[in-house]
Amino acid sequence: MLTPRRAGGFTIIEVFVALTIAGVLLALGAPAFGTFLQNARLGTRAKSFYTGIQLARTEAVRLNLPVEFVLTDTPINTANLENVAASSPAGRNWLVRYQATAASGPYTLVEAKSALEGGDMSNLQVLATNDGIVFNGMGGTTSGNPEQLDISKPVIVPDDQCAPLGAMRCWRIVVTAGGQVRLCDPTVAAGDSRAC
C-alpha cells in the first residue's frame, strides 16, 4: 500500500506570515534608505563642483592662462553661455571658461554642467565665498585668497540639517591660495582625514 505524500509548497498562512514580516521590515527600513539616497545625491552633486574646479585649475596650467570656474543659475544650454552667464555665489550650475586674447575679448568655453543633471533644483543649496574662482598659469588662485564652496540641502524638516543636528551629510570644497582643491566634511572634528 502506498502512503500519500504531502504536496510541496507553502500554505496560505505561511505566505501571509512571510509577507507580513517583509512588510514590517520594509516599513522600518524605508526612512533610512530615503536618507541614504538623499545623501548619495548630495555627494554626487558635490563631486560635480569639485570636478569643475579641478578642471579649471588643470586648464589654467595647461594653457598658461587665467581660467575661471564660474557658478551660475543660467541654464547650461543657453547660446553663447560663456559670455552671457550671470555669475552667482549660490549658482547651481557651473562653467569653466578663459579668454585667449586680451582681457576684454570673448570667452572660450571649456565645459559647462548642471550639478543637478536630472534632479530637482529645490534639493540643492550652494553657498560660496565668491561667485567664481580664477586660476593662474601656475595653478594658484589669482586673488591669492582661499575659497570655499558649501553644498547642502535646503532645510525644510529638521532631518534636512547637516549632521550632527540632522541626517544630511553636507560637503565643503576648500581651495587654498596655492590652488590645492579638497572635498571635505565640515562637521567632522579636526584630526580626522575627512575634516576641513
Would you list the domain boundaries of the chain?
Answer: 12-184
Q: What is the pLDDT of residues 68-108, one digit of tens each?
A: 999 998 988 889 989 899 888 888 899 999 987 766 778 98
What does residue 40 show for φ and ψ, rounded to 5 degrees?
-65, -40
Q: What is the pLDDT of residues 144-179, one digit of tens each?
A: 889 999 888 777 666 667 766 677 788 899 999 999
What does residue 67 show for φ and ψ, rounded to 5 degrees?
-125, 135
Report which listed range, 2-16, 30-44, 135-149, 154-168, is most confident: 135-149
Amino acid letter, 189: A
Domain 12-184 has CATH 3.40.50.300: no
Contacts of 164 (CB under 8 A, 6+ apart): 187
- DSSP 3-state assignment of 174? strand
CA separation for the pair 25, 3 (Å, rounded): 41
Grid coordinates given for 173 = 570644497
Amino acid letter, 57: R
| Cα–Cα nearest to 151, from 178, 103, 184, 113 | 184
